[in-house]
Structure 1
């Protein structure tokens, strides 16, 4: 573990730490439409930077579409049914991160049917992650795609412009649009294969099943195994209220659990016999507040108390805090993490309790890539943003329910965006230190509405979502074919990647002792041996 952290003991792994995992992905939506209000997701960063500008300014001049655009459209049309099956079935079977068994299987089913070989399941210690690949000829380029497919708690919704339970109720839903994101990425890979077969282009297409992006993203575990270093570029997109591409930066992040253990006692008769883990947690929180004045303005520190006792008349012997630390890059985040670790030790010493600092997850900042961003922008600009009156009415009804301006869906892309920064983070950042990464945003939700809300789920389950899945597959297939066919473009992409990374060699952000995600549900790891041991405990 980075910074000399402790290994988790068996007690800390069960109910105390594992209990909060179900809700770990939830985030409050942020308002859109202002340049300085940036949501955590990449798509929302593009949206916040330019939504109002895009809708209130003249449309950018439309260049002639790249030659590969028409071929990509034809290849996607051939794969249309498979792409829509992925999007619709994953939407109807929404699963939380690290438990996406059906969703992962849906992607693999369609990839295998399209001729891809499954190179690994349960990749890099994440049971619902995978890698599928297809190659043709000798040599050639290698392009990766990053589908995601995890959902969010509390955002289940029907494909209706109002709050209404979805196919599996309201408990889980695709409020970040990963059913569409995954369908577009996997569909783009399938379409690229068809284009390469038709043109006889040599190369390798890889699809990385990126489980649990909302919690402990599999990309980080895959990157630690150096899986992305073999690719010339790795591509993805993200749902947003707008279409856009540009030079976006997102922060590095560390996540930790801070656990305090004390001694229980009767709070009325003999409180002196106890040592309060809650008081230690409170002192830790005060210590974090005291450091805020002295951190860089770019730092973000936020935490919650996950466990803080069970009854007021019992001195709590257990408390747990979940803290997230972000800043511009890994060195800055690692400095914050060391400081917070010291605060935990000090709080324990002051309250005569024991502290355990469990650094369980981290990512690098996202490195943009200008040649790839320009490539994505050219291709997304070649795909019309066309909506039926029924779709615009659906969007306006969602806006009416939320209480924002009834502007409907975006009808033109943003200009190429430069120097976008945001306080949030993404596990794509880890990939961006191993290979050039290209990403873009595409409209899947009405203007003025944020990600991680029920309208995203609603739109993702109807024709707005279908169009997003198909159109993003077209954009990804066309852009990736250009990369496959143009060595000079790949060289420029690589040069930009090396320039931005500089002399910083890749060091995994994950702690050394973290072999699998902390929030992995027990049922995903149980074996027959577990049952035998359990049956012998009372013998």
Structure 2
């Protein structure tokens, strides 16, 4: 692929914008940077008129009906987005947030099939069905927030009502509202024309850390879907054949022997020295790994006092590559470096891959269909909203270009270095995902302006517009066997026939970072109504 896309946008700029939430602050979703403030000018005929639209870019007939259905559930969609924004909760602790989604789903006639799904206390599955048989379409709302990104709905860095410790700096309040709102609107569309089928909403907790989708996929909970669809916040509207990387989250623990660092250092064996040598070994790898490989790490424990030889040190490292096979080889090498560092320092190493995901498989029929629906939805912002966006850009020191109002051209085959737990879904079922502008141009995900915009009218518009796109596409999937067949054929061609193998260790029954409160006996009042299990 050339370094320049046909749209005129810099390839690096587009790749940096396709994290789809990545897998997380913890895993380092890349910053969004746009080299251009807008998509390039539309091409024109020799006489100056716009060219006639291609058939595959014309808006499907369901778009107008979906707009009416979304308007009918508008209040519910905005309640979800605004309430989740106002009560931000970190991954694996989204107690209030998941209840907000379930409240609106149950009020609309959906049945809660599972809570605490696949061992994740704040995950759930909710369903609504009509008629006998029919397709099953899945929606994938997320609702966890990020540390340090709490902000008021103001165009400056200032704490919100709950302070600055936690905030929706990846837009999951809007993402969740759009996905659940799309399901609510699709129900109305199906009731209006008697379409048989099942709408299934997966409460995708903890996307920023140890995503519930991976645990659900291991339990086979997506396998009976005809398709799964979702969206993510971005500085522009876009869809295409975008592939994200597979990743592993790894903890390396070194155990040594303590000693007095001044009086008798020879009696000790420093776990910190082992961790430092491990870091040097990772740097020595970098020249020789594949261009698709990524490695980034932090020291989580490195001793308690300089005059005590550290007997324990811990490193958290994330490894990524284009697919699970390449990632397996990279992870094996990292493990060998850990063992070598332990041998060199006469310490002991523990190497644990505690979480991971597949690469994201694109699905061209779904991406192109979502793109058609995107083109049918106006991207409009008021003067006040554009001024808000420019003020955020001014505070962040980027060009004051405001909000994007034109979608990108359809994105052809692109591979990005970011990752998402959506990858495991895409290996079990045809999966479509798109981006929608809720962030000022030139602003990255995982920053305070994302939180700020998500708490005001820019965020409201994003939730409503994406619900319309998702509802319309969902209805088309329910009623168009040809679309479902094309999506399935594309899925099989990309996926191949190899059996699905979860990247989770077989003995990993719950996330490493799960708060101990969740695994009490049930006497804890705060979590008394949360159960852990899978659908019966």
Residue 450 of structure 1 aligns with which residue? 444
Aligned counterpart for 2:385 among listed residues 363, 366, 391: 391
Q: TM-score, normalised by structure 2?
A: 0.90
Alignment of 1:109-148 (within 5 A): 109-148=103-142
Are residues 431 and 51 of structure 1, via their aligned partners in 2, closer, same or farther at CA, if it must alter by over 3 Å? farther
Residue 490 of structure 1 aligns with which residue? 484
Q: Determine if the alignment matches structure 1 residue 36 to structure 2 residue 20.
A: no
**Cα offset, 1:354, TM superposition:** 1.4
Alignment of 1:485-524 (within 5 A): 485-524=479-518
Residue 424 of structure 1 aligns with which residue? 418
CA distance in 1, matches of 2:504, 2:165: 30
Aligned counterpart for 1:197 among listed residues 191, 199, 206: 191
Residue 39 of structure 2 aligns with which residue? 55
CA distance in 2, matches of 1:499, 1:344: 38
Is there any run of 5+ residues in structure 1 with no aligned partner, and where?
1-32, 532-539
Are residues 315 and 47 of structure 1, via their aligned partners in 2, closer, same or farther at CA, if it must alter by over 3 Å? closer
**Cα offset, 1:66, TM superposition:** 1.3
CA deviations on 1:18-59 (whole Å, 9 max, x unpaired) are: xxxxxxxxxxxxxxx742143362279999697728433227
Q: TM-score, normalised by structure 1?
A: 0.90
Alignment of 1:279-428 (within 5 A): 279-428=273-422
Alignment of 1:28-177 (within 5 A): 34-37=10-13, 38-39=15-16, 41-42=19-20, 52=36, 54-58=38-42, 63-177=57-171
CA deviations on 1:209-260 (whole Å, 9 max, x unpaired) are: 0001111100000000011111000000000000010000100001110001
CA deviations on 1:83-136 (whole Å, 9 max, x unpaired) are: 000000000000000000000000000000010000100000000100001111
Are residues 412 and 51 of structure 1, via their aligned partners in 2, closer, same or farther at CA, if it must alter by over 3 Å? farther
Are residues 371 and 53 of structure 1, via their aligned partners in 2, closer, same or farther at CA, if it must alter by over 3 Å? farther
Aligned counterpart for 1:259 among listed residues 253, 273, 288: 253
Do the aligned residues in 1 keep the contact of 2:105 with 2:184 (CA within 8 Å)? yes
Is there any run of 5+ residues in structure 2 with no aligned partner, and where?
1-8, 23-28, 44-49, 526-536
Give the match's secondary structure for 1:435. Answer: coil
Are residues 265 and 165 of structure 1, via their aligned partners in 2, closer, same or farther at CA, if it must alter by over 3 Å? same
CA distance in 2, matches of 1:47, 1:342: 31
Do the aligned residues in 2 keep the contact of 1:46 with 1:245 (CA within 8 Å)? no
CA distance in 2, matches of 1:420, 1:278: 40
CA distance in 2, matches of 1:525, 1:460: 32
Give the match's secondary structure for 1:287. Answer: helix
Give the match's secondary structure for 1:423. Answer: coil
Aligned counterpart for 1:234 among listed residues 228, 231, 235: 228
CA distance in 2, matches of 1:253, 1:108: 30
Q: Determine if the alignment matches structure 1 residue 479 to structure 2 residue 457.
A: no
Residue 46 of structure 2 aligns with which residue? none
Do the aligned residues in 1 keep the contact of 2:256 with 2:271 (CA within 8 Å)? yes
CA distance in 1, matches of 2:35, 2:458: 18
**Cα offset, 1:176, TM superposition:** 0.4
CA distance in 1, matches of 2:162, 2:325: 43
Are residues 53 and 163 of structure 1, via their aligned partners in 2, closer, same or farther at CA, if it must alter by over 3 Å? closer
Give the match's secondary structure for 1:118. Answer: strand
**Cα offset, 1:277, TM superposition:** 0.4
**Cα offset, 1:262, TM superposition:** 0.9
Do the aligned residues in 2 keep the contact of 1:49 with 1:420 (CA within 8 Å)? no
**Cα offset, 1:65, TM superposition:** 2.3
Size of the aligned set, in residue pairs, is: 499
Do the aligned residues in 2 keep the contact of 1:376 with 1:475 (CA within 8 Å)? yes
CA distance in 2, matches of 1:376, 1:475: 7
RMSD between superposed Cα atoms in Å: 1.9
